[in-house]
Structure 1
């Protein structure tokens, strides 16, 4: 059987060697070995199953993830830089173009002396007077001179009340007296001493307890110097204040009785005591009741004189300036 020159019977007319399915041999893979993603794969097994390359896909996904991460980091840095630039611009604008001004700064450093630009917001510092305050008046200043010692003075102001209590001892007050004839209230040479030192007056009061009586006499002078001089000139053996009887107290401490005598001074005041028994008994060193009574009355008199000075000093301190 002869096929003739035209080739086998399945050849297309006028196209020797053409694929009966219309595909050209040598120009197209008859088995579909072309990469499904468009990349030629001439080395691919023509009989391998038609599945994607998972390793290649994983590499591509990782590359895309890295690109997104770097894009996010870069975007964050850029955003931070933009915010910082905006804040810096605002601060510069608030500070007047970036120039330092004392009123805009919050600094703990003090302004430089003599700079001529003190801080406008600084609070004024407190000022203090360079003049030292006057010292508080001394009570003794007011009882050392008649010019300052202006408070009322009498037997009632020096010896108030009907009784005197010192500790657990209570004394009854007897007669009182006040005279400008200083010598009339004395015994012996005391009168001349008071007169020679310009005594202004003598105030007396008597206190008694259990048969013991003491008369206190306060001689008042114009100045402290006169009082001190008179006290130093007193001879207690030859003179003293005269005892004062009356108001329930009998006569005591008159010659020839022996009595206890004391003298002391404070400011412009000299105060004397004479104490003994109302029975006329002589006083000895063993008669402690006489000594205790005399000391109590003298201590009370000192307190009263000091109180005069304290009250007047307090009044002077509370008075307005210039009065």
Structure 2
């Protein structure tokens, strides 16, 4: 049985509001209600002829002018007012002349100042060798622009590559390295470690048809460890293969199971009774578990402690295999020249 362990803006016009009409106002010089024009300036209503300037109404001849050079018989001009207006015009002319001279003086001064500033700037530049540019270094040679490589750095090593390829999977593989310590804990559930073993004779540590499957797919080594908790014992076996494909075939073709490992305080279990067997793989490793009661009780589908223990040990085996790949990938990434 395989177990399910770790796997890889315009506004609209409102209706009802048309454009408000504007009626024409009566024309300037026209009065509402009258269709005729007002008499022109200098005409009296009801008279068709133009009245001569300075003449008397009703007279057709012009009166002689008592003052030569002046027209009409109107009042005498205000000679004092005319003299004041003339004096005012003369004063404005004098102020315009004075203002124009001042502006001309300011303009000449600005031109002279600009010439002085330009001359000083030219002298400073020639004395100091000119203004240095951003592209020139203190020694006078051009400053090189920074360059960047167009080649992207390689991605970090993938731990799965190291547990899948025997050419990369070079780290020592031992029982104590794969199953360290005297106990293990999974999600707060502690398991005590019992006996351990390692062998290259893969078929010798199996039951049923598993031995033949391991041999056919080129099994190189099997490492086992047993754990116990609250009357439940579980043996986990990790088989090593030459490739990921071989390990996957062994998992798929698995029948029978890994042989339970007693000892180190754990008595025989899963003998002449029903136990829970599971299989899975990670990289070039296939791992198998067999779980049962230490008192020989038959396992049923309702025995949750058995299934929980099998899940925990399967997850533990996967984590240990993956940690092996992660350690080798990290070492390769930190190696000189890599």
TM range (shorter): 0.5 to 0.7
Instruction: Please give the alpha-carbon distance, in whole angstroms, between the structure 2 residues aligned to 1:218 and 1:77.
Output: 99
Per-residue deviation, 1:189: 1.1
Counterpart check, 1:82 vs 2:112: yes
Mapped partners of 2:254, 2:235: distance in 1: 17
- Say how many residue pairs are matched: 239
Matched, 1:215 2:235: yes
Question: What is the rounded CA distance, in whole Å, between the counterparts of 1:151 and 1:82 in structure 2?
Answer: 87
Q: CA deviation at 1:72?
A: 8.2
Indicate the residue corresponding to 1:124 in structure 2. 144
Distance 2:277 2:168 in 1: 31
Counterpart for residue 260 of structure 2: 243
Is 1:163 equivalent to 2:193 in the alignment? no
Match of 1:194 in 2: 214
- Cα drift, residue 76 of structure 1: 5.6
The 2-side partners of 1:297 and 1:212 are apart by: 12
Match status 1:175 vs 2:205: no
Alignment of 1:1-323 (within 5 A): 77-92=107-122, 120=136, 123-235=143-255, 239-254=256-271, 256-321=272-337
How big is the shift at 1:233?
1.2
After TM superposition, give the deviation of residue 80 of structure 1 in Å: 3.4
Give the whole-Å Cα distance in 1 for the aligned partners of 2:279 and 2:243.
18
Q: In structure 2, what is the Cα distance between the partners aligned to 1:259 and 1:70?
A: 118
CA distance in structure 2 between the aligned counterparts of 1:175 and 1:143, rounded to whole angstroms = 25
Q: Normalising by the residue count of structure 1, what TM-score does the alignment of the two structures yield?
A: 0.67
Q: CA RMSD in A?
A: 2.9
**Structure 2: which 5+ runs fail to align?**
1-96
What is the CA–CA distance in structure 1 between the aligned matches of 2:307 and 2:101, rounded to whole Å? Answer: 113
**What's the CA shift string for 1:238-270, capped at 9, x where partnerless?**
x1100000011110012x200001000000100
Who is 1:9 aligned against? none
Larger radius of gyration: 1
The structural deviation recorded for 1:283 is 0.2
Q: Give the C-alpha shift of residue 133 in structure 1.
A: 1.4
| Offset of residue 168 of structure 1 | 2.2
Shift of residue 200, structure 1, vs aligned partner? 0.6
SS in 2 for 1:314: helix
Which segment drifts farther, 125-134 or 268-277?
125-134
